[in-house]
Amino acid sequence: MTVRVGVIGAGWIGKEHIQRLTHAVTGARVTAVTDIDAARAEEAAAPVGARVLPDGAAVIAADDVDAVLVTSWGPTHAEHVLAAVAAGKPVFCEKPLATTAEDCLRIVEAEQAHGRRLVQVGFMRRYDSGYRQLKQVLGSGRIGEPLIVHCAHRNPSVPESYTSAMAALDTAVHEVDVLRWLLDDEIVSTQVVTPRSTGKRFAHLKDPQIMLFETAKGVRIDLEVFVNCQYGYDIQCEVVAEEGLVRLPDPATVGVRTAARHETEVLTDWVGRFREAFDTEFREWIASLAAGAAPTGPSAWDGYAATVITAATVEALESGRVVATDLKPRPAFYGGAA
């Protein structure tokens, strides 16, 4: 039973996912594509034999669309997700679920009214084999209860359009989601410490930043976000627990010895780092739909929490204060703790 997917938004990530659904995921077919730029929609649709539709509403309504993929511009996410929920169709929305807490809550309420999970948010780290091993070790009880998490999220460089607020909204948001899931815990406060900024990039930007999160259970997280680190794309995560620690591995690369050095490669882009995670994310999403089951990935509630926590972090950056996240109580509908 092939799942027929309609895609809203044919920019870079939309095209990537269309290719992925076609060539890397079995059991799926992209049947319809839309974009505000019709030529771009055509360019994405043609190679996979999909048709172009005028807008998101048409994609959602189409008979040959079983599930919707939202990869449009962030501010439009809420509208499309709400429409898909209203139509009772499963919808995968790239992050963010919505740009405001209010819109996120609207989706959460609509989904609860529908009575069954329809929404999955595109936080792919939960599908990375390293993070999954981390969670397995924590779950095994071998090292006891977690107390501290040390993280780093480093990119070689960002364009001038990247702002200080985006360090939380666009970059740290991945750690926010994956740590909530990893720890099965909620983030209750946030603080930002700003080292002197690197001189290697645009003067307007606070970079690096150190974000400090506290969870409901009292775990403390320090996260270095450094988006102009020059040397590579480097994701680090170490969980310190009562009887030991566990650390995310670097990607496996050959070791070379030459010229008085032992060296391994450091990746320079996130596409290579998380390609497998993206593939797994979509394979599991399609598999759950094909099986008629609700999605098990990041939920609308997770999307809401990420939006609230990252907004609070921007406030913490701008105010210099510790900011409480003041999340609403988690509905039983979403299960779990975080």
User: Given the complex with a second copy, which of 11 and 232 has the nearer CB atom?
Assistant: 232
Told to check if 58 binds a second copy by CB under 8 A, we report no
- Residue 302: closest CA among 128, 122, 148: 122
Told to check if 164 binds a second copy by CB under 8 A, we report no
- Residue 62: closest CA among 71, 53, 73: 53
Number of residues interacting with a second copy: please give it, by CB under 8 A.
71
Torsion angle of C-alpha atoms 127, 128, 133, 138, degrees rounded to 10: -60
**In angstroms, what is the minimal distance from the CB of 281 to a second copy?**
15
**In angstroms, what is the minimal distance from the CB of 254 to a second copy?**
4
User: Given the complex with a second copy, which of 265 and 326 has the nearer CB atom?
Assistant: 265
Of the candidate residues 113, 203, 254, 332, the single one contacting a second copy (CB under 8 A): 254
**In angstroms, what is the minimal distance from the CB of 15 to a second copy?**
17
Of the candidate residues 12, 73, 88, 200, the single one contacting a second copy (CB under 8 A): 200
CA 115 to chain centre: 24
- Which two tokens mark 249? 């591995």
Told to check if 272 binds a second copy by CB under 8 A, we report no
Burial letters 226-260, b for 16+ CB under 10 A, else e: bbbbeeebbbebebbbeeeebebeeeeeeeeeeee
**In angstroms, what is the minimal distance from the CB of 233 to a second copy?**
9
Instruction: Tell whether the torsion through CA atoms of 179, 184, 186 and 189 is positive or negative.
Output: negative
End-to-end CA distance of the chain: 33
**In angstroms, what is the minimal distance from the CB of 124 to a second copy?**
17
